[in-house]
Amino acid sequence: MSRVALCFPGQGSQAKGMADDLLDVPGAAGLFEQAEAQGLDLRARLAGDDDDLRPTEVAQPALLFVGVLLTTMLDPAVEVVGVSGHSVGEYAALAAAAALPASEAMRLVVARGGAMASMREGTMAALLGLDADAVAQVCREVDERGQGPVVVANLNAPGQVVVSGTVAGVRAAGELAKGRGARRVLPLNVSGAFHSPLMEAAAERFAAALDAAPLVDARVPVACNVDGALVTDAAGLRARLRRQLTGAVRWSDCVEALLSLRPDALVEVGAGGVLTGLARRIAPAVRAVSVATPGEAHSLGVRLVAAGA
């Protein structure tokens, strides 16, 4: 039996058609009902085009929907030894670890997406070619100029760091980073300054929903975004989720934590394949595969055996 660690993608990985084979599978109706109870017609959005999926308040529940349902279809011949998720993907990871019922994960993610979408100030950009320390120094210098706040928001892989903050601060950080040797500065198509102090009001708005969530101890370790720690106890998971909206996603640390569990493969569950690529940059020798369709979920064990896992 292959041992796997599951990874769930975050916002930006959503794509038209990603749920076409999932709309009527067992479990879908309950997730649609939970979203609709909070005013989101998720089924209609998933059946639409890229523009229907792009808004933060839609993209996040849509990704959760796909991740949760594909997890239920994974080949039982694989053993899950740990989980993690990038930003909103952490909620699909919690559901996969049985720390949170799928319906409650949907309730939380609809609330989370709505809270984040309401914060329209600021933006984000990926700085490619500088290490985390160099980017952190850039952010400090921009803050000292009074153009911030701008902070390190995602530590995705060596040489790929995302910053978040005011529009002026992110622009200044990009210009300064280019002068320090950054290969590229890529503005991100997001509606706000996620994972930065500018999300404080969204975090406060989301806190009541999070505090009411029926989290229980996870069945397998969860590599948490804010510190990369492997956590199973409900109190530790909840405390880290409280910090997630304003804290950095330490994705490289999450991947390294999962690899410490000695899985035979890292499996990205959901659309896009972004995390599969990042895993190979973080640990070039890692066996990383993606599961984006029911067929890929059902055949995972066979695929891993064929790959030598």
Q: Hey, where are the domains in the chain? A: 2-118+198-307, 123-190
Q: How far is CA 173 from CA 125, 156, 159, 183, 221, in A?
A: 9, 18, 15, 14, 36
**196 counts as catalytic:** no
Please give the Cα distance from 92 to 184 (Å, whole number). Answer: 31
Question: Is residue 307 scored above 80 in pLDDT?
Answer: no
Q: What is the pLDDT of residues 139-187, one digit of tens each?
A: 999 999 998 899 999 999 999 999 999 999 999 999 999 999 999 999 9
**195 counts as catalytic:** yes
Nearest to 29 by CA among 102, 97, 91: 102
Rg of the chain on CA atoms, in Å: 18
Q: Which of 84, 86, 191, 195 is catalytic?
A: 195
Distance from the Cα of residue 62 to its chain's centroid: 12
Residues in CB range of 190: below 8 A, 6 or more apart: 11, 12, 56, 123, 124
Q: Check if CATH label 3.20.10.10 holds for domain 2-118+198-307.
A: no
Average pLDDT over residues 274-288: 96
Q: How many CA atoms, within 13 angstroms, populate the side-chain half-sphere of residue 19? A: 28
Average pLDDT over residues 250-278: 97
Q: Which of 87, 191, 196, 252 is catalytic?
A: 87
Mean pLDDT computed over every residue of the chain: 96
For the domain with range 123-190, which CATH number is right: 2.60.120.260, 3.20.20.450, 3.30.70.250, 3.90.550.10?
A: 3.30.70.250
